[in-house]
A and B are shown apart, each in its own frame.
Chain A
Amino acid sequence: DTAVSQTPKYLVTQMGNDKSIKCEQNLGHDTMYWYKQDSKKFLKIMFSYNNKELIINETVPNRFSPKSPDKAHLNLHINSLELGDSAVYFCASSQWGAGNTIYFGEGSWLTVV
Chain B
Amino acid sequence: GDSVTQMEGPVTLSEEAFLTINCTYTATGYPSLFWYVQYPGEGLQLLLKATKADDKGSNKGFEATYRKETTSFHLEKGSVQVSDSAVYFCALSLNYGGSQGNLIFGKGTKLSVKP
Residues of A within 8 A of B (CB): 31, 33, 35, 40-45, 48, 55-56, 90, 92, 94, 96-107
For A56, give its contact among B36, B89, B96, B98 (CB under 8 Å). B98
Closest to B55 in A: A99
Contact indicator B102/A56 (Cβ below 8 Å): yes
Residues of B within 8 A of A31 (CB): 101
- CB contact under 8 A between A90 and B44, given known A41-B87, A41-B108, A43-B89: yes
For the complex formed, measure the closest distance between the CB of B6 and the CB atoms of chain A, giving whole angstroms.
12
| Number of chain B residues close to chain A: CB under 8 A | 26
Chain B residues within an 8 Å CB radius of A43: 44, 89, 91, 103, 105, 108
Hey, what's the 0/1 contact readout for B32-50 against A, CB within 8 Å counting as 1?
1010101000111110010
Q: Is the CB of A99 within 8 A of B32?
A: yes
New A-B contacts (19) at CB < 8 Å, excluding given A43-B108, A56-B99, A100-B101: A41-B87, A41-B107, A42-B105, A42-B108, A48-B102, A55-B101, A56-B101, A90-B44, A94-B101, A96-B101, A98-B95, A99-B93, A100-B100, A102-B46, A102-B93, A103-B46, A104-B43, A104-B44, A107-B42
Q: Check A98 against B100 for contact (C-beta < 8 Å).
A: yes
Is B46 a contact partner of A42 (Cβ separation < 8 A)? no
Q: Which residues of A contact B101 (CB under 8 A)?
A: 31, 33, 48, 55-56, 94, 96, 100, 102
Per the bound structure, the CA–CA distance linking A1 and B37 in Å amounts to 20
Q: How far is the CB of A42 from chain B (nearest CB, A)?
A: 6
| Distance, CA A2 to CA B53, complexed state (A) | 33
Q: Could you say which of B87, B95, B103, B108 has the most chain A C-beta atoms within 10 Å of its C-beta? A: B103
Q: By CB atoms of chain A within 10 A, which of B43, B96, B101 has the most?
A: B101
